[in-house]
Structure 1
C-alpha cells in the first residue's frame, strides 16, 4: 500500500513540475529573451543529466551511424519545439499553451497514417475531434488581440508538430539507447542550434537583461525540476505501471496549469474556457481507450517522456 502511495505520489509530482514549466517560462521571459532562456536551461539540464547518467551507470556513447538521427532529433526537439513553445508564451497565457501542447499524442495516429501508412481508428478520430473542439473553446479569449492570439497559436502548433516529427524520427534509435542518454545527447546537440541563434537574435540586447530573483528562480526551476527531476520520476513510474496507466496522469497537466496560473499569475478563465479544458482532457481519455498496440502508440509512449 505504501509503495503504491509513493509511486502515484511520484507521478503526480512529475505532472505538477511539468504543469509549472509553462508558468516558470512565463515568469522567466519577463527578464530573459526566449532563446537566451532555453539556452541557459539546456546548459544546466545537460550538466545535471550527465551527472545522473554517470551516477546511475546508465551513460552510453553514441554510435557514429546514429549521429545523423540525433542531429535530426535535436532539430525537432529541443530546437523547433522550444522555439515554438517559448515564443508562444510571450503572446499567450500558460493555460492555453498547455492545453494545445497536451494534444501532441492525439496527432501521433494521424501522422502515423500519413507517413507510416498505419490505419487510423474511429476512436482516434473521435479523440482528435473532441479535443480540437475543446481547444477552440479555450482559444476564444475576447481580451486577446486577433493578431497576437493567431501567431501565438501558430507557434504552439509548431511545437506540437515538431514533437510528433521528433517522435517518428526517434523510432530509428529508441531501442538502442536508454532514454536518459537520448535526452542528454539531443540537449547537447540542441545547444549547437541554439547558440548560433542566440548570437543572431539575443546577443545585441544581452546587456539590457535585468535579472530578477523571480526570473532566475524560474530558470533554475525549469532546468532542475521540469527538465531533469520530472523526467526521472516519470521514467521510474513508467517502468512499474506502464505507459498506458501513466498517460492518464499526463492528461491532467493542462488542468494543473490552469489552477496554478489562476493562483500564482492571477489569470482569469471564463466558464467556456474551463469547459474547453474539460473537453480537451475528455478527448485525450477517449483516444486512450483500449486498442491494439500500434506504431502510433509507440510514438505516443516516446513523446510523453520528452515533450515538456
Structure 2
C-alpha cells in the first residue's frame, strides 16, 4: 500500500473519531460540567502522549513552550465554546457548524496578506445559506448553542493559522504534545474557579472521557501530525469535510437525532460549501485542455 494511501486512510479514521466526539461530549456532560470534562479529556491525552513521545519532546526550547502556551489557550477556546454550546444544540448540528473552520481559515488568512481564490468566497456564501436554514428560527434568531459552535469554528481556524506560522520554526510534535498539557491547565483553572471539579461517577461518563481523551485527542492529534507528512493538504481538507457527516451518523445511532427537512437541506448546503471552497476543479482538466482555454475564459474558472 502506498504511503499516501495509508496516510489518507489514517486521516479518515481520525475524522471518524472527531465525528464521534460530539456524541461523547454530550454523554460526558450528563455527569460533568463543561470545563471539568475538557480538563479530564486533555489531562488524559497529555499523560498518554508525553511518555510515549518523550524521546522526541524532551528539553523543549523556551520559545516552543511559549508558543505551545498560546496554542493551548486557543485550543481551550475551541473546546470551551463547543463543549458549552453543545449543551443547547444537537450533536449533528454542532458537527456541521464547527466544520465551518474549513472556510474560516482562508477567510481569516486575508488579515495575514493572503488572497484566497474565488471558490472560497463562493463556498462561504453557500455555507452561510446553509447555516441560516439550519439555525435561524422563524423570528430570525439563533440559539446560544449554535452561536457558540460557530465561535468554536473561529477559534479553531485561528488555531490552525497560528500553528501554520509557527510549526516551520519549532518542532511540531513538541508543539502538539505541550499544547495538550496547557489546554488541560487552562480548563482545570476555569473548572476550579467556576465549577466543582471531580471524577466521573457513571460508567457512561467514564466511557465518554476515555474516548475523548484517547481516541479524539491523543491518537487524533498524533496521527494527524504524522499522516500529514505523507498526504497533500487538498486530500486532508476533503477528508476532514466528512467530519459533520460522521457526526450526524453517530448522533442518529446513539441519540436517534434527526434534523428537520429544512435542517437537512441546510446541512447539505454547508457540506457543498466546504467542498466548493476546498476542491480545485481545474485539477481534473487534462493538461492539454487547460492550456487551450483562452485567458478570458480561464478567469471565470475555479483556481
Classify the TM-score, shorter chain. Answer: 0.7 to 0.9
Q: Distance in 2 between matches of 1:245 and 1:225?
A: 22
Segments ≥4 residues shifted beyond 6 Å: 2-5
- How far has the Cα of 1:5 moved from its partner? 6.9
- How far has the Cα of 1:193 moved from its partner? 1.9
- Residue matched to 2:133: 137
Q: Distance in 2 between matches of 1:165 and 1:63?
A: 23
Residue pair 1:140, 1:273 contacting (<8 A) in 2 also: no
Residue pair 2:39, 2:185 contacting (<8 A) in 1 also: no
Structure 1, gaps ≥5 residues long: 293-308
Paired residue for 2:113, among 93, 114, 117? 117
1:163 equivalent in alignment to 2:185: no
Q: Distance in 2 between matches of 1:117 and 1:8?
A: 30
1:264 equivalent in alignment to 2:254: yes
Paired residue for 2:68, among 61, 67, 70? 70
Measured against aligned partners, the alpha-carbon deviations of 1:69-88 in whole angstroms (never above 9, x if no partner) come to: 332222111x2111101000
**TM-score in terms of structure 2 length:** 0.84
- Residue matched to 1:84: 81
More off after superposition, 95-104 vs 162-171: 162-171
Residue pair 1:17, 1:225 contacting (<8 A) in 2 also: yes
Q: Distance in 1 between matches of 2:4 and 2:161?
A: 33
- How far has the Cα of 1:184 moved from its partner? 1.3
- Residue matched to 1:101: 98
Structure 2, gaps ≥5 residues long: 283-303
How many residues are matched? 282
Residue pair 1:137, 1:273 contacting (<8 A) in 2 also: yes
Measured against aligned partners, the alpha-carbon deviations of 1:45-90 in whole angstroms (never above 9, x if no partner) come to: 0011112313xx432533223443332222111x211110100011
For the structure 1 residues 5 and 169, does the alpha-carbon distance in structure 2 shift closer, same or farther, using more than 3 Å as the test?
closer
- Residue matched to 2:299: none
CA RMSD of aligned residues (A): 2.6
Q: Distance in 2 between matches of 1:118 and 1:10?
A: 30
Residue pair 1:94, 1:261 contacting (<8 A) in 2 also: yes
- Residue matched to 2:57: 59
Structure 2 matches for 1:1-308, cutoff 5 A?
A: 7-54=7-54, 57-77=55-75, 79-113=76-110, 115-140=111-136, 150-203=143-196, 206=197, 211-290=201-280
Q: Distance in 2 between matches of 1:18 and 1:189?
A: 20
For the structure 1 residues 233 and 185, does the alpha-carbon distance in structure 2 shift closer, same or farther, using more than 3 Å as the test?
closer
Measured against aligned partners, the alpha-carbon deviations of 1:121-171 in whole angstroms (never above 9, x if no partner) come to: 3211001111121122222578xx998x52112211221221222233324
- How far has the Cα of 1:21 moved from its partner? 0.6
- How far has the Cα of 1:7 moved from its partner? 4.9
- How far has the Cα of 1:23 moved from its partner? 0.5
- How far has the Cα of 1:239 moved from its partner? 2.3
Residue pair 1:69, 1:172 contacting (<8 A) in 2 also: no
Q: Distance in 1 between matches of 2:280 and 2:271?
A: 17
